[in-house]
Structure 1
Amino acid sequence: MKIRSKFQTWLLQEDLNFLLTNRIPRIAVTRFMGWWSQLRHPWIVKGSIAVWRWFTDLDLSEAKEKSFDSIHACFTRELKPGLRPVDARPDVLTSPCDCIIGACGEIRDGIVYQAKGFPYTLNTLLSAPELMQRWPQMLEGGTFVTMRLTSSMYHRFHAPCDAHLSHVTYISGDTWNVNPIALTRVKELFCKNERAVLQMQTSSGMPFLIVPVAAVLVASMRFHAVDVLLNLRYRGPNEIPCDAIYTKGQEMGWFEHGSTILMFVPKGYQLVDGVQSGIQLRMGEPILALNSSARYF
Structure 2
Amino acid sequence: MNISRQLQRLALNEDLNFLLTNRVPRAALTRFMGWFSRIRHPWVRDASMAVWRAFTDLDLSEAKKTSFDSLHDCFVRELRPGLRPIDPRPGVLASPCDAIVGACGRIGSDPGAQVFQAKGFPYPLTDLLGNGARANAMIDTLRGGSYVTLRLTSSMYHRFHAPAALTLEHVTYHSGDTWNVNPIALKRIERLFCKNERAALHARLDDGTPLLLVPVAAILVASMRLRAADVALNAQYRGPHELPCSAGYDKGEEMGWFEHGSTILVFTPPGFALCDDIEAGHRIRMGEALLRRDPP
Q: TM-score, normalised by structure 2?
A: 0.98
- Report what 1:130 is aligned to: 133
| Separation in structure 2 between the aligned mates of residue 130 and residue 31 of structure 1, nearest angstrom | 32
Match of 2:116 among 94, 113, 116: 113
> What SS class does the counterpart of residue 287 from structure 1 fall into?
strand
The count of residues paired between Structure 1 and Structure 2 equals: 293
Q: Is residue 231 from structure 1 mapped to residue 252 from structure 2 by the alignment?
A: no
Tell me how far 1:224 sits from its aligned partner. 0.5
Residue pairs, 1:51-200, within 5 angstroms? 51-108=51-108, 109=110, 110-200=113-203
- Report what 1:16 is aligned to: 16
Residue pairs, 1:42-57, within 5 angstroms? 42-57=42-57
Going from structure 1 to structure 2, the CA distance change for 1:171 and 1:128 (only over 3 Å counts) comes to farther
- Report what 1:245 is aligned to: 248
Give the AA of the match of 1:49.
M
Q: Check conservation: 2:62, 2:80, Cα contact below 8 A.
A: yes
| Separation in structure 1 between the aligned mates of residue 64 and residue 25 of structure 2, nearest angstrom | 35
Tell me how far 1:2 sits from its aligned partner. 3.0
Give the AA of the match of 1:237.
P
Tell me how far 1:58 sits from its aligned partner. 0.3
> What SS class does the counterpart of residue 227 from structure 1 fall into?
strand
Give 5+ residue unaligned stretches, structure 2.
none
After superposition, the C-alpha distances for 1:219-275 in whole angstroms (9 at most, x for unaligned) are 010000111111110000000000100000000000000000001000000000010
Tell me how far 1:292 sits from its aligned partner. 2.5
After superposition, the C-alpha distances for 1:21-62 in whole angstroms (9 at most, x for unaligned) are 000000000000000011101110111111111110000000
> Once the two structures are aligned, what percentage of the paired residues are identical?
62
| Separation in structure 1 between the aligned mates of residue 3 and residue 53 of structure 2, nearest angstrom | 14
Q: Is residue 273 from structure 1 mapped to residue 272 from structure 2 by the alignment?
A: no
Pairwise CA RMSD of aligned residues? 0.8
| Separation in structure 1 between the aligned mates of residue 61 and residue 49 of structure 2, nearest angstrom | 14
Tell me how far 1:5 sits from its aligned partner. 1.8
Q: Check conservation: 2:178, 2:219, Cα contact below 8 A.
A: yes
> What SS class does the counterpart of residue 16 from structure 1 fall into?
helix
Q: Is residue 221 from structure 1 mapped to residue 224 from structure 2 by the alignment?
A: yes
> What SS class does the counterpart of residue 154 from structure 1 fall into?
coil
Tell me how far 1:128 sits from its aligned partner. 4.2
- Report what 1:262 is aligned to: 265
After superposition, the C-alpha distances for 1:147-184 in whole angstroms (9 at most, x for unaligned) are 00000000000000000000000000000000000000
Q: TM-score, normalised by structure 1?
A: 0.97
